[in-house]
Structure 1
């Protein structure tokens, strides 16, 4: 984030998006330790965002605006506002202000606003790894496991052992937020082994896993 003034983050998964946004803000803070971060949980009207981008901060020489949920800017019904915002982003000097926008979406955002951001800064789509095929008899694919293992390492350093990661993947599947929270609880408990993972997951998680497996294998009769 320190090398670009505008960053658009998009992903189908809200947790992976949240982590990417946190990393971008942390990188900006490190590059601008005296700077100010202003976060909008909901997207402000486009005209107000432009005004904020054009107005100097009263409290710091540099500042970063963060729009946590930028979906309204990319909706089909807001095309005119998005076009106006795109035009402003192309023209504003942005000398002492940066902008991070994040949006939960199944596909990479397109349109005039996404194009303007890509030209002026960076538009980054965080896709999801491919799920295992039904015939592979696997809870997660190797690429999914790689992503989940990185989340375990981030949430609870020291739990990177294959047995523990495998147990977490088996218990929670590709549900990044739930798995990361489970890794944190496991680290706090001090019991770092596969048996504790299974006990921590509980019957509810096991039943959910069985339902997911049944749906994956089209075996509805198993629950009759």
Structure 2
């Protein structure tokens, strides 16, 4: 960490406004630690912080590596993310961060819809898939083989943290159709990784004896 701080001093020595650059770097670190996944068009993250991340990428890679994270950037999706490097060792506070069953199923349903959108050509040019609460709850029900939560519970409880960490964006509600639009962001692959999905599938098969994921996976592969 001492080396990274020395490198930060060298960066600030080379810019005209060191105070503004230091603020941008500080905000960038805080934003990534809070959200874990951010995007160029994220309204609550200053553009100066995004620019600092890109301009001083090597510094940030070294900085976050000390905390066990790999910094990744994707130009197509305009995504910057922190990915845990050590998947074998549980992260600090993992017991407090353990997901409830409904939270787990919601994440799995979102990842399924994201991959379905990719396979069917429903993904936009920035790697985002558009869906709504009706479709999400339908997939939730098929995975869980149980009554899904209400739309209100889904939005106010189950999707709230996923919005913070850059997995989704909740859009406007269509009062006539009684549905709320949802955009699934590429960050869903960071938060719901392939390893995470495999573990969830094994758990769900034991808990619900549901063949939905296996059946739908075969259908998606054939699209």
TM-score, normalized by the shorter chain, greater than 0.5: no
Structure with bigger RCO (C-alpha 8 Å, 6+ apart): 1
From the CA coordinates, give the structure whose radius of gyration is larger: 1
